[in-house]
Amino acid sequence: MFKAILIEKDEAGYRAALHDIDEVQLPEGDVTVEVAYSTLNYKDGLAITDKGPVVRKFPMVPGIDIAGVVRESRHPDYRAGDRVILNGWGVGETHWGGLAQIARLKGDWLVPLPDALTPRQAMAIGTAGYTAMLCVMALERHGVSPDKGEIVVTGAAGGVGSTAVALLSGLGYTVVAVSGRPEETDYLRVLGAAEILDRATFSEPGKPLARERWAGAVDVVGSHTLANVCAAAKYRGVVTACGLAQGMDLPASVAPFILRGVSLIGIDSVMCPRPERLEAWSRLVRDLDPAKLEAITNEIGLTDVVATAERLMAGRVRGRVIVDVNR
């Protein structure tokens, strides 16, 4: 038996709660992992609170992130005792995820946990930090260097945003953080933000083109916010989009793209190919300040997950939430 958060949907309704589960119920997979830490991401919050159609099969163990040690393996790349991490691949949506003490997975979904990181640090980074690093890598690939100008980060007090601010400032970029929480100003400055702007100036319909300001952007919000970021991008600016906190719509004009040559780059962390994943984790070890990572991190136990998910969806959680699945 092992403990896990289980989401059920039946005639009695939709519910998520902590359960004791028999290992015979574990799904198919060629690697069994003893989970040390998982995380609570925005997608997990949507799944647990039923505020978005995340879960595709029931019952489901949520948790899109896993860090732990291989207990059993039939996969050629892994053996008992190996330290591994997992991000995405539909785990927590169509396959039982990491908010559990045991997980059975496909070995092809795993990557080795870098020697320089503890499982706790790896989950403090998690999908949010790994996604932020993919955004930084995309900006670099498209020629956005620190000398090109300011980088705007929306949703800056959240998991992706916090890590993006820390990464970009550490790499020498001038970072402008957008947040709807004025009480997080000091926190964002500690992470390296040079300026903090109120999200209200971005979240309403704007002009097709605004004054040129951003050399690059990391947007986790979508909708009007993403449209306004694109409208204010500099000539040949680069905007990375990786989230939908405000909405899935994009009420934008083609003007930034055809008049200023702005590039809008989609960032997908779920199905990202293995070589890019390995590069992102290598870069995170090198480029993310451990002290800033600790400042981003909040730790809870499995017993706290459901209540914390409600707070997360209400916008009352900052930074990263990691889950010690053994408490």
For residues 87 and 84, give the distance between their C-alpha atoms in angstroms, rounded to a whole number: 10
pLDDT in tens, 81-115: 999 999 999 999 999 999 999 999 999 999 999 99
Identify whether residues 35 and 140 lie together within a single domain. Answer: no
Report residue 256: phi and psi, to 5°. Answer: -60, -30
What's the whole-number mean pLDDT along residues 268-281? 96
Same domain membership, residue 208 and residue 99: no
Q: Assess if residue 279 is contained within a domain.
A: no
Beta strand 111-112 pairing with 83-87: antiparallel
Compute the average pLDDT of residues 36-53.
95
Q: Could you tell me if residue 131 is inside a domain? A: yes
Same domain, 136 and 257: yes
In a domain, 166, yes or no: yes
Please tell me the predicted confidence (pLDDT) of residue 256.
98
Domain end position, chosen among 216, 249, 266: 266
CATH code, domain carrying 167? 3.40.50.720
Q: Which residues contact 272 (CB under 8 A, 6 or more apart)?
A: 88, 134, 280
Q: Has residue 227 been placed in a domain?
A: yes
Q: Which of 5-9, 172-176, 181-185 has the lowest mean pLDDT?
A: 181-185
Q: Looking at residues 147-154, what average pLDDT do you find?
A: 98
Do β-strands 175-179 and 297-301 pair in parallel, antiparallel, or remain unpaired? unpaired
Q: Which domain holds residue 95?
A: 2-113+294-324
pLDDT band at 302 (very low <50, low <70, confident <90, very high): very high
Same domain as 97, residue 18: yes
Average pLDDT over residues 156-174: 96
Q: How confident is residue 167, by pLDDT bands cut at 50, 70 and 90?
A: very high
CATH number of 317's domain: 3.90.180.10
Q: What's the pLDDT score for residue 226? A: 98
> Does residue 52 sit in helix, strand or coil?
coil
pTM (2 d.p.): 0.93
What would the pLDDT profile of 45-86 be if each residue is shown by its tens digit? 999 999 989 999 999 999 999 999 999 999 999 999 999 999
Task: Let me know if residue 205 belongs to a domain.
Answer: yes
The percentage of the chain sitting over the pLDDT mark of 70, rounded to a whole number, equals 100
Do 70 and 166 lie in one domain? The reply is: no
pLDDT tens digits, 309-327: 999 999 899 899 999 999 9
Do 255 and 135 lie in one domain? The reply is: yes
Answer yes or no: is 119 within a domain. Answer: no
Number of domains within the chain: 2
Tell me, yes or no, whether 171 and 230 share the same domain: yes
Please indicate, yes or no, if residue 288 is contained in any of the structural domains: no
30 and 88 within one domain: yes
pLDDT at 275: 95
**In this predicted structure, what is the pLDDT of residue 225?**
98
In a domain, 147, yes or no: yes
Q: What is the C-alpha R_g of the chain?
A: 20
Place of tokens 């939908």: 244
DSSP 177-244: EEES-GGGHHHHHHHT-SEEEEGGGTSS---SS----EEEEEESSBHHHHHHHHHTEEEEEEEEE---
CA 153, CA 161: separation in Å to the nearest integer? 6
Answer yes or no: do 132 and 236 share one domain: yes
Is residue 90 domain-shared with residue 179, that is, in the same domain? no
Q: What mean pLDDT is predicted for residues 279-308? A: 96
pLDDT of residue 35: 98
- Judgement on whether residues 135 and 260 belong to the same structural domain of the protein: yes
| pLDDT value of position 16 | 97
Query: What confidence tens digit (pLDDT) does each residue in 188-231 have?
Result: 999 999 999 999 999 999 999 999 999 999 999 999 999 999 99
